[in-house]
Amino acid sequence: MADLNKLNSQQRLAAETIEGPVLILAGAGSGKTRALTYRMANMIDHGIQPWHILMITFTNKAAREMRQRVDTLCDGAAGDAWVMTFHACCARMLRRDIEKLGYSRDFTIYDEDDRNVVIKRAIKSLNINEKNYPPRMVRAVISDAKNRMLSPEEWRQENPEARSLAYFKVYQLYEETLKSNNALDFDDLLLKTLELLSEHPPVLEYYQNRFRYIMVDEYQDTNVAQYQLVRLLSGESRNLCVVGDDDQSIYSWRGADIRNILSFEKDFPGCTVIKLEENYRSTGTILEAANRVIKNNHSRKPKALWTREGEGERIRFYRAMDEREEAAWVCENISALLREGYDPGEIAALYRTNAQSRVLEEALVRRGIKYGVYGGLKFYDRKEIKDIIAYLRLLVNPADDVSLRRVINEPRRGIGEATLETLGQYAEENNLSMLGAIIQGKPDELGARAKNALKGFGQLIEDLSALRESLSAVELVEKLIDETGILSQYENSKDPEDVSRVENIQELVTAVGEYSRQNPEGGLTGFLENVALVTDTDRLDEKTQTVTLMTLHSAKGLEFGAVFLVGLEETIFPISRAMMDDEQLEEERRLMYVGVTRAKQRLYLSCARNRTLYNERHANAISRFVGEIPRELIDDGRRVQAPSRLTPSAPNQRLNAQKSGDTAPKPWEIPGVQKGMGKSAASLFHVGDRVMHRSFGQGTVLDVRSDGKVLIIDFGKIFGTKAISAEMAPMRLVK
C-alpha cells in the first residue's frame, strides 16, 4: 500500500483527489512524477481495477519510470494498466481495429527518413522544382496540416494562393502513397485513432468503458488531435486528471497548443486545481531568477516556485568581446567545477540553436575537456540497422514499397534505378505492390538479367516470410542476417566503420532478444512498433561521463548540477522573429525559464558584444531576459571568483520582501548595455525616419508596429532588416 505520508501536502492532495476532472499545475522540479505514481497506486489501493486506468506520458522513458514506480508501490498489481505515450496508445488501438479504416493490422509506421523518401518521390513524379519546394519545407507543411487535423482539401481551402498548389498536390500524393503502402506516419497514429473512435461508436464505447480513469502528463505539450482524443476517451465520466506547467510550454512549432492547459477549467467546469510549487531541484537564488523572468508573461496561470533549501550561489554573468572569448570563459568555469569535484555528467551548456555549438566544441577540445553533443545519430538511425529493419518490415507488410526500395539492392544484387522505376510504374498501373509484381514475374519488358535478380530477391522474401510462424523473432532476425549476406559484407573489412557496423548488427540481435523476453506476446510486429516509437528523449536514460552540449529545447525534463546558458543576446535569444510576435516572445521567455530551472546548484549566463553566426558578424544588445533577473542575484565579475555563500532563507522570504516593488534591473543596468529611448519616446518614430543604433549603425525605418513599440529597420547590406524594440533598443533619431 502506498504511504501518502511521504508526500508534501499538495502532492498528497493530488494523490487523494481521484474522482472528477483535476488540473495539477506542476512547476519545474516539484515532484510531479512522485505525485502521479502515488495517485495511481492510491487508486488501485482504493479498489479501482488497473485495467480501468490509462496513464499517458510524452516519452517512453517517462512511461517506463512511472510503471516501475507504481509496480513497486503496489507490489506488481498495476500490470494491466496502460502506461504509455500517446503514439504507443494509438498504435495499440489501431492494431486491434484499423481494418475498419481499410488498412491491415500489419501496417508500417514510417519514420522521418521514410517520410522524406515518399515526399521526394512525390515531388519528382509531379515535376515540381525541388529548389523552390525543398522536401524539408514540404514535410513541415504536411506535418503542420496534420497537427491541425486538416486533410489536403481542407488545407487547400485555407491556402488558396497559387504557390500553395504544389504543396497541396504533394500532400495529396503523399497520403495516397501511404495508404497504398499500408503505412502510417507519426501524425497518422493520432488522426486515424480519432477517425476510428469518431466513426465507429462501438469502438469508442469499448474504450470509454475500459478507461474510466485517465491521466495525462505534460498536458501543456498536447496538440489539437491529442486534446480531442482525451476529450473523447474521458466521455461522460469526466475522470480526467491532467498534469503540466504552462510556463514550460515550448513546442508550439511542433503543434503544441498552450490553450489546452490554460482553458482546462473552462472545458471542465468544477474541476479541482492543485498547484505543486515546492521545488526539490534548485537553489533559492535560481528559483527566484526563474520566477522573476516568467512573471513577465501574460498568458500564464500565476504560481511561484520555492524551496526549503538555502539560497545558494549567486548567478554568474559574463559579457565577452566575441563568441570565442565567451567559449573560453565557459571552459574556464567548467575546469574550475571539475577541480571542485563536479562530475562531468552534471555539467551542461545550453544554447538556442545548434549552430552555436561549434565554437564551444572547439574550445572544449583545446582545453582537453570531454564532451558529448546531444542530437547525434541514434542507434536505430544507423544505415546497417535501418537496412535490417527495412527487411523485417517488408516481411510483416509486403505492401511496403519504401522498405523494398531501400533493401532490394542491399547488399548489391545488380538491380539498378532504371529497373526499379520500370517495376514501380508497372506496379502502380496494375494496382500491385512492388513485391507483388516481382512475385508475378513482371514486368515483361525487363531484360533476363534484371528479371533473374528480381526473382532471387522475391524468393528470398517469400522464404523468410514462410519462417515467421515457425521461428522466434530472434531466430528469424538471425536467419535474415545470414541469408541476406548483410553482415558478411562488413565482416572481412578492417575499416573501423565496418567493424562498428558488425558490432551494431550484433547489438540489434541482442535488442530483439531483450524485447522478446520482456514482451513474449509482442512478436516481430511488436518489436518493429517499439523501434518506430523510440524518441530522441529516450536516449538520455542515464547521464554520460562527459560535459553535455544541447539546445534548450532538448534540455526540457533534464537537470544538471551546473548549467551554462550561452548566447544571451537580442536576435539570438530571443530570436529575431519573436520580436514581432507577442506569442512567440512569450514562448521564448518560457524557454529561458526552462533553461534556468535545469540548474540545481550553479547557473552561468553569458553573451558576446560581437558574434559571427551563419557567416555574418553581428553586434547585439544583451538579451532582455538577463535584464529581467534581479540585479542582486547576479555576480557579473569578469574573473572567475571563489564561491560565495549567501545566507539561507526560509521559503519565499525574499519574494515576500520584494512584493512592494519590482527590483529587476533594466537591460541597460547590466554592464555594457546602453539605455534605450524609453516608453515615452516610442511614438516618436515614423516610417522613413533615419536612426542611429549603437550596434547596427544607421538605418531607415520601414514600418512601425504594435502601436509604435516595434520598428522594422533596414540597416543596409551588412546587417539587413531587423525588428527593433523602440522602447528598449540603444538608438536615437538622426536629424
Active site residue 482: no
Q: Are 29 and 245 in contact (CB under 8 A)?
A: no
Catalytic residue among 303, 413, 598, 722: 598
Cβ-based neighbour number of residue 335 at 10 Å: 14
Catalytic residue among 10, 11, 32, 393: 32
Catalytic residue among 188, 218, 221, 410: 218
Three cell numbers written together for 495:
575499416
Active site residue 3: no
Give 428-436 contacts, CB < 8 A, sequence gap 24+.
433/180, 433/181, 433/398, 433/399, 433/400, 433/401, 433/404, 434/401, 434/404, 434/405, 435/394, 435/398, 435/399, 435/401, 435/404, 435/461, 436/398, 436/399
Q: Are 687 and 668 in contact (CB under 8 A)?
A: no
Active site residue 248: yes
**Residues across the chain:** 735
Active site residue 217: yes
Q: Which three-class secondary structure state does DSSP give residue 612?
A: strand
* Residue type, position 204, single letter: L
The backbone region for 133, taken as left when phi is positive above 0, alpha when psi lies in -120 to 50, beta otherwise, is: beta
Catalytic residue among 106, 187, 217, 586: 217
Three cell numbers written together for 69:
514506480
Distance (Å, whole) CA 730 – CA 713? 14
Cβ-based neighbour number of residue 472 at 10 Å: 14
Distance (Å, whole) CA 321 – CA 325? 6
Three cell numbers written together for 498:
565496418
Catalytic residue among 208, 220, 248, 307: 248
Q: Which helix (H) or strand (E) holds 365?
A: helix 357-367
Give the alpha-carbon dihedral of 296, 320, 606, 335, to 10 degrees.
-170
* Residue type, position 456, single letter: G
- CA geometry: angle at 583 spanning 578 and 587, to 5°? 75
C-alpha pair distances (Å), 615 with each of 356, 611, 618, 621, 719: 12, 10, 10, 19, 12
Of 117, 137, 136, 90, nearest in space to 181 by CA: 117
Write the CB contacts of 495 (distance below 8 Å, at least 6 apart in sequence): none
In the block, residue with C-alpha cell 540548474: 599
Catalytic residue positions, numbered? 32-33, 217-218, 248, 598
